[in-house]
Each structure stands twice: as structure tokens, then as C-alpha cells.
Amino acid sequence: MSAHERFLADIRQYPDFRKDPALALELVRKMQGGDKESEAHLIASALKLIAEVTKRHCARWNAWQSEEDLRQEASQNVAAKISKFNPKKATLEAYIRFCSRMAFIRFWYDQQAIHLSDSRRKVLAHISKARRKLESQLGREPTLEEISACVDLDEEQVEAIGSSAPVLLVNLDENCGDEGASNVLNFPELTAKTKSPLELAEIAELRRILVEALGDVDASLLLAYEGRGTAYFQDLYITFKHKCMKESAARKWAQRQRDKVAKYIERRGRRTD
């Protein structure tokens, strides 16, 4: 019996809120009135959905070795956030799926993401540019020795710095002008082109910057807009802001947030110069 099957056997006693929407709404109503027992029942009724979301995540990223940890992270995040759910603004299933995915991102970030100082980022940017310049001149991939000579650093330093960071730069423009750049995370392509859990860690690194610039809620909304599209963003906006936003207004909102992030990064860069 797999870990997933064992978990399903353990939670078989709990109902699935998707099979009884009326009961789920009643539990939410009581939870909002301060009934902790109803809140606990609601969390228990979400465990089967959490297990499904975790299984799909593990299948997509071949992360079965971390299935139990991922499921636990998702369960804990749902338990922490469930009291903020408003059934008049979004569906319970969409809310639980979102909370689970955010837990997965944080898990991979904690496991694999490496924090870089601003000075280290600048060095890595210099190395990346040097490599692309040499590739253009030589018509091939430059050797470590050639890159080291170009940037005036020891080979050991170049190798250590070049392999240390999943994310170096953040490109906020919709028309990315430096498509050949290495270690550049293009903001408009976030979740559509992720291919591994490590790339989820890259998103988490970007999210850290967005939270610093915009705050937790607007950072989550902007990631949803860029990665999942307007409709998904509008659902989350209702959940977090408790009001609707039209598609045209959503585009303007997203651009304002991009401008804020760009200004924040510029200010931070001036502070480290």
C-alpha cells in the first residue's frame, strides 16, 4: 500500500465537503460565528481534496519522495487559512486548491532555494553577460577558463557563483528584451513554463521580492494574474478583496503593481551601489 493509499484509508471516516455542499456551507457559517468544532470538521472534510491535489503535484513533478511532507504542508496551510474563507466570494474548492499550491511553493523554496545578496547577484549578472558575449564571439559554449579570464575571477569562484542561484534577475517587462539571458526569470511566463520543483523555488524567490514590494496579498494576486490568467485572478481578487474587478480594470491593476515592483527594485539597487 502506497503512502497515498494509507492516508486515504486513515481519512476514510471523514466526509468530503464536495459531496455535501449544503453541510459545508453550514459548517462555514458556524465557523464564522466562532465555532471551533465546526472549523475542525471543515478542515477534516477538505483532507481528501488536499490528498488529490498533492498526488497530482507529485505526479507532475515526480516528487513522490516528498508526498507526505507536501501533504502535511498543504494541510497545515489550509488549517491556518480556512477561517478567512468567504463562501459568497469564491468556492471552497478553489480556495483550498490555492492554499495547497502556495504551501507546495513554500516547501520547495525552503528545501532548495538559495538566498543571494545583492552584490552576489551583480557578480552573477556579470558572469552571465560575459558567457553570452563569449558565445557570440567564439560560436560555441565558452569554457570555464575562458569565462574566468573574461570576468577576472578564479575558476573556482566562477563555478561556485554560477551554480549557486536558481534566480538572478527579474524581468518585469511583457516584451522581454534579453531573451538569451541565463538565470533570468521572465515575470510574464511564471507558471505556464515551469518544468520542475526547482523552478517553483524560483517563483518563490520572486514572490519574496514581490511581498517586500507589494505586501503578501497583492503579491499573491499578481502572481495569479501573470501565471493563471484573468479569470483565475478575478476569483482570487474576490476572495481577498471582497469585490469584483472587470478584465480591463485587472489589466490596469496588474500594470500598476508591475510599476511598483520595478520602482522597488530600482530603489533597492541604489541602496546597494
Residue 185: its H or E element: strand 184-186
Residue 200 and residue 6: Cα distance in Å, rounded? 27
Rg (CA), the chain: 22
Task: Report yes or no on whether pTM surpasses 0.75.
Answer: no
Q: Which three cell numbers stand for residue 71?
A: 501533504
Range name among 2-6, 147-151, 244-248 with the lowest pLDDT average? 2-6
| Helix boundaries (H) for 33-117 | 36-45, 47-61, 67-81, 92-112
Please state, in angstroms and as integers, the Cα–Cα distance from residue 213 to each residue in 16, 205, 266, following that order. 38, 13, 11
Which amino acid is present at 11? Answer: I
Please report, rounded to a whole number, the percentage of residues in the chain having pLDDT higher than 90: 21
CA angle 245, 260, 115 (to 5 degrees): 115
pLDDT tens string 64-82: 888 888 999 999 999 999 9
| pLDDT of 2 higher than 90 | no
